[in-house]
Chain A
Amino acid sequence: MKLTSYGRSLHELNILKDQGFEEVILEPKSLSRFGKLSKDEFLALSMRAKELGLRVLLEWDILMTEDVFTAKLKEVNDYVAHADAVRVQDPGAFGWVVRNTDRPLQFIAENGNHNLPALEGWVDLAKGRLERLILSIELSKTAIEGYVQKLKVPCELLGMGRILLFYTPRPLLSALAPEKMTMNGEIAALGESEESPHKGFPIVENAHGTFMFHIKEFCLVDFAHELRQMGLGFFRIDQRWDNQLLAEISGLVKNFDATGFETFKEKYTQDLMRGFYLVNKTDVLFPKLKNSRLQKREGDYIGEVLEAEKGSHLAIMVKNPKGLKKTDLLKILHPKGEIFESKIYSLRNLSLEEVDSVAAGNLAIIQFIGGVWVKSQVFYQ
Chain B
Amino acid sequence: MTKHQLPEVLAPAGSLDKLKIAVLYGANAVYVGGQKFGLRTAADNFTLDELREGMNFAHERGTQVYVVLNSFLHDKDLEEVPEFVKFLEEIGTDAVIVSDLGVVKTVRAHSKIPVHISTQASTLNSESARIWKEAGATRIVLGREVSVKEAGKIKREVDIEIEMFIHGSMCMAYSGHCVISNFTQGRDSNRGGCAHSCRFEYSLEGLDTPEKKKAYFMSSKDLEGLRVLPAFIEEKIDSLKIEGRMKSHLYAGTMSKVYSEALKYYAEHGDFLSDDLINWEAELSKVSHRTYTEASLVEKAGADSIFNERENASDGEWQMVGSVIDANPKSGIVIEVRNAFNQGDELEIIPFKGPAIKVVANEIMDLAMKAVTRTRPTTLVRLPFVEGVSSMHLVRQRGKA
- Which A residues from 55 to 99 make CB contacts under 8 A with B? 63-69, 90-96, 99
Measured CB to CB, the closest approach of chain B to A129, in angstroms, equals 13
Contact yes or no, B177 A115, CB < 8 A: no
A377 to B217, CA, bound (A): 42
Is A265 engaged at the interface, CB distance under 8 Å to the other chain? no
Q: Tell me the nearest residue of chain B to A117, going by C-beta.
A: B102
Is B41 engaged at the interface, CB distance under 8 Å to the other chain? yes
Contact yes or no, A298 B48, CB < 8 A: yes
Contact yes or no, B367 A307, CB < 8 A: yes
B378 touches which of A92, A200, A375 (Cβ 8 Å): A375
Contact yes or no, B44 A291, CB < 8 A: yes
- Which A residues from 155 to 202 make CB contacts under 8 A with B? 163-177, 180, 187-198, 200
Is B131 engaged at the interface, CB distance under 8 Å to the other chain? yes
A297 touches which of B49, B74, B296 (Cβ 8 Å): B49
Is B187 engaged at the interface, CB distance under 8 Å to the other chain? yes
Q: Tell me the nearest residue of chain A to B179, going by C-beta.
A: A165
Given A168-B172, A189-B206, A196-B184, answer yes or no on A175-B100 (Cβ-Cβ < 8 Å): no
Measured CB to CB, the closest approach of chain B to A313, in angstroms, equals 7
B residues less than 8 Å from A192 (CB atoms):
202-203, 205
A170 to B182, CA, bound (A): 22
Contact yes or no, A190 B204, CB < 8 A: yes
Given A168-B174, A282-B193, answer yes or no on A189-B205 (Cβ-Cβ < 8 Å): yes
Total chain B interface residues with beta-carbon distance under 8 A? 103
Is A11 engaged at the interface, CB distance under 8 Å to the other chain? no
A residues less than 8 Å from B131 (CB atoms):
91-92, 94-95, 125
- Which A residues from 88 to 114 make CB contacts under 8 A with B? 90-96, 99, 111-114
A182 to B165, CA, bound (A): 35
A284 to B76, CA, bound (A): 13
Contact yes or no, B188 A282, CB < 8 A: yes
Q: Which of B78, B100, B192, B301 has the most CB of A within 10 A?
A: B100
Given A168-B173, A172-B218, answer yes or no on A64-B207 (Cβ-Cβ < 8 Å): no
Is A122 engaged at the interface, CB distance under 8 Å to the other chain? yes
A residues less than 8 Å from B326 (CB atoms):
350, 362-363
A69 to B102, CA, bound (A): 26
A172 to B326, CA, bound (A): 49
Contact yes or no, B172 A170, CB < 8 A: yes
A362 to B331, CA, bound (A): 12
A143 to B366, CA, bound (A): 59
B306 touches which of A64, A66, A175, A291 (Cβ 8 Å): A175
Contact yes or no, A118 B127, CB < 8 A: no
A residues less than 8 Å from B192 (CB atoms):
286, 289
Is A116 engaged at the interface, CB distance under 8 Å to the other chain? yes
Total chain A interface residues with beta-carbon distance under 8 A? 97
Interface string of A141-154 (1 = CB under 8 A from B): 00100100000000
Is A243 engaged at the interface, CB distance under 8 Å to the other chain? no
Interface string of A300-344 (1 = CB under 8 A from B): 010000110100110101010100000000000000000000000
Contact yes or no, B191 A283, CB < 8 A: yes
Q: Tell me the nearest residue of chain B to A214, going by C-beta.
A: B183
B residues less than 8 Å from A69 (CB atoms):
124-127
Contact yes or no, A92 B124, CB < 8 A: yes
Is A121 engaged at the interface, CB distance under 8 Å to the other chain? yes
Contact yes or no, A65 B150, CB < 8 A: yes
Q: How many A-B residue pairs have CB under 8 A?
A: 296
A residues less than 8 Å from B42 (CB atoms):
289-291
Contact yes or no, B47 A296, CB < 8 A: yes
A residues less than 8 Å from B172 (CB atoms):
166, 168, 170, 172
Is A280 engaged at the interface, CB distance under 8 Å to the other chain? yes
Q: Tell me the nearest residue of chain A to B203, going by C-beta.
A: A192
Contact yes or no, A96 B127, CB < 8 A: yes
Is B143 engaged at the interface, CB distance under 8 Å to the other chain? yes
Interface string of B113-134 (1 = CB under 8 A from A): 0000000011111111111101
B204 touches which of A117, A189, A319 (Cβ 8 Å): A189
Measured CB to CB, the closest approach of chain A to B255, in angstroms, equals 22
Is B83 engaged at the interface, CB distance under 8 Å to the other chain? no
A289 to B334, CA, bound (A): 33
B100 touches which of A118, A169, A193, A297 (Cβ 8 Å): A118
Measured CB to CB, the closest approach of chain B to A217, in angstroms, equals 11
A residues less than 8 Å from B215 (CB atoms):
176
Interface string of B146-178 (1 = CB under 8 A from A): 110011011000000000000000001110111
Given A116-B75, A289-B42, answer yes or no on A167-B101 (Cβ-Cβ < 8 Å): no
Is A212 engaged at the interface, CB distance under 8 Å to the other chain? yes
Is A278 engaged at the interface, CB distance under 8 Å to the other chain? no
A residues less than 8 Å from B360 (CB atoms):
none
Contact yes or no, B334 A363, CB < 8 A: yes
A95 touches which of B44, B127, B212, B331 (Cβ 8 Å): B127
B residues less than 8 Å from A95 (CB atoms):
127-128, 130-131, 134
Measured CB to CB, the closest approach of chain B to A157, in angstroms, equals 16
Measured CB to CB, the closest approach of chain B to A131, in angstroms, equals 18
Q: Which of A64, A90, A198, A352 has the most CB of B within 10 A?
A: A90
Measured CB to CB, the closest approach of chain B to A290, in angstroms, equals 6
Given A143-B75, A173-B207, A285-B186, answer yes or no on A117-B101 (Cβ-Cβ < 8 Å): yes
Q: Tell me the nearest residue of chain B to A114, going by C-beta.
A: B74
Is B354 engaged at the interface, CB distance under 8 Å to the other chain? no
Given A65-B143, A112-B72, A289-B41, answer yes or no on A176-B124 (Cβ-Cβ < 8 Å): no
A149 to B292, CA, bound (A): 50
Given A214-B183, A282-B182, answer yes or no on A193-B334 (Cβ-Cβ < 8 Å): no
B residues less than 8 Å from A280 (CB atoms):
74
Is B274 engaged at the interface, CB distance under 8 Å to the other chain? no
Contact yes or no, A297 B378, CB < 8 A: no
Given A170-B305, A171-B303, A313-B367, answer yes or no on A66-B203 (Cβ-Cβ < 8 Å): no
A112 to B208, CA, bound (A): 37
Contact yes or no, A65 B125, CB < 8 A: yes
Can you give 30 contacting A-B residue pairs, CB < 8 Å?
A69-B126, A95-B127, A95-B131, A114-B72, A115-B74, A116-B102, A117-B102, A121-B135, A166-B173, A166-B180, A169-B145, A170-B172, A172-B306, A173-B207, A177-B208, A177-B212, A196-B197, A196-B200, A214-B183, A214-B184, A282-B182, A283-B74, A283-B77, A289-B42, A294-B45, A306-B380, A309-B366, A319-B16, A350-B334, A350-B367
With A169-B145, A283-B193 given, name 16 new contacts (CB 8 A). Answer: A91-B131, A92-B124, A94-B128, A112-B176, A113-B100, A113-B102, A118-B105, A125-B135, A146-B75, A180-B207, A189-B205, A193-B201, A317-B325, A362-B326, A374-B378, A375-B378
Residues on B facing A (Cβ under 8 Å)? 16, 41-42, 44-45, 47-50, 53, 72-75, 77-78, 99-106, 121-132, 134-135, 143, 145-147, 150-151, 153-154, 172-174, 176-180, 182-184, 186-188, 190-193, 197-198, 200-209, 212, 215, 217-218, 220, 296, 300-303, 305-306, 308, 325-326, 330-331, 334, 336, 366-369, 378-380, 391
Kindly list the 4 A-B residue pairs having the minimum CB-CB distance in the complex, ordered from nearest. Answer: A175-B303, A118-B102, A92-B127, A92-B128
